[in-house]
Amino acid sequence: MGWWSKEAVITECFETDLHSHLLPGLDDGAKTAEETLSILRTMRDMGFKKWITTPHIFNDYYRNDAEGIKNALAALKTFLASKGESFDISAAAEYYLDEHLIQLLQDDKEILAIAGRFLLFETNLFSISPFVNNMIFEAGKRSLIPIMAHPERYDYIVSNKELLFSLREKGVLFQVNLLSFVDYYAVSAKKIARWMVDNDLVDSVGTDLHNPRQLLALQEIMSDRYVRKLIDRPLLNLNL
Ligand SMILES: [Fe+2]
């Protein structure tokens, strides 16, 4: 690995962000279209070029569906155009792994997968969902590849990181939050994120950006040596 400028780290490796909460008002992410615009501008200055934003679909808290998300994306694009701005932004979703997701898969309902293929899912922090094997099976029937969002942040992975190997064997890919490499979440998240880099378990990265506050921390990732180790890896971010 040679010398890379801060900008090059983003431009060459992560210019497509695969995880964020930038559709205003849909979840715990951006609150207004103005806030989204300001976040997008800052990220563009950092080198990001493309966004596949991923609102939560979590039946207990954020009752979003494919149609609502597509409508919110269209409204955001209209707003951006009214400000004379245009960003390469599309939408998928971050699905909470629960019975609702299984139902959507079984009922052949529309799934907002990243690039139409990758099903981004999250679980609670404390235990792997009892629905995980069912989800992998049902996703497979629909030719979807599951990507687990931020495994490094789950307590049950911190206490049993070998679980990642068995999930990998079942066909699950992993997406690490870029902010896990700096001191933003728990120390354990940073430790597991680094361990995942060393064990070739990072298939993609995402900012998981929710608000402008996180942008400052995001600036720091560019000089992190573990983030730089990812430069030579064939991350999904490069191909979508
Ligand atoms: Fe997220």
Q: Which pLDDT belongs to residue 12?
A: 65
Q: Which residues pair with 167 in a beta bridge?
A: none
Closest residue by Cα to residue 64 from 105, 34, 32, 23: 23
In the three-class reduction of DSSP (H, G, I as helix; E, B as strand; rest coil), residue 118 is classed as strand
Please give all residues whose CB falls under 5 A of ion ligand 1, grouped by chain where several chains appear.
94, 208
Interval between CA 1 and ligand 1 midpoint (Å): 30
Residue 20 CA, ligand 1 centroid: distance in Å: 6
CATH topology of domain 6-235: TIM Barrel (3.20.20)
Q: Residue 156 class from Cβ within 10 Å (0-12 exposed, 13-18 middle, 19+ buried)?
A: middle
* Cα 213 to ligand 1 centroid, rounded to whole Å: 15
CA distances from 132 to 126, 171, 240 (A): 14, 12, 25
Give residue 95 CA to ligand 1 midpoint distance, Å.
9
H or E element, residue 205: strand 204-206
13 token code pair: 């490796």
Distance 96 CA to ligand 1 centre (A): 10
Dihedral sign, CA of 178, 69, 56, 110? negative
Q: In what order do the strands lie in the sheet with 173-177?
A: 56-57, 94-96, 118-122, 145-149, 173-177, 204-206
Query: Which residues have CB under 8 Å from 129's CB, separation 6+?
Result: 97, 98, 123, 135
Instruction: Give the pTM.
Output: 0.95
Tens digit of pLDDT at every position of the chain (240 positions): 344 565 566 666 788 999 999 999 999 999 999 999 999 999 998 889 999 999 999 988 889 999 999 999 999 999 999 999 999 999 999 999 999 999 999 999 999 999 999 999 999 999 999 999 999 999 999 999 999 999 999 999 999 999 999 999 999 999 999 999 998 999 999 999 999 999 999 999 999 999 999 998 998 887 888 998 888 788 999 888
Helix (H) or strand (E) holding 164: helix 163-169
State in Å: Cα 21 to ligand 1 middle: 7
Rounded distance from Cα 140 to ligand 1 centre (Å): 23
Domain coordinates in residue numbering, the chain: 6-235
The rounded Å distance from CA 27 to ligand 1 centre is: 10
Separation of CA 54 and ligand 1 centre (Å): 7
Q: What integer pLDDT is reported at residue 9 of this predicted model?
A: 63
Cα of 31 from ligand 1 centre, angstroms: 15
Q: How far is CA 155 from CA 90, 99, 107, 135, 206, in A?
A: 31, 21, 32, 21, 19
pLDDT value of residue 3: 47
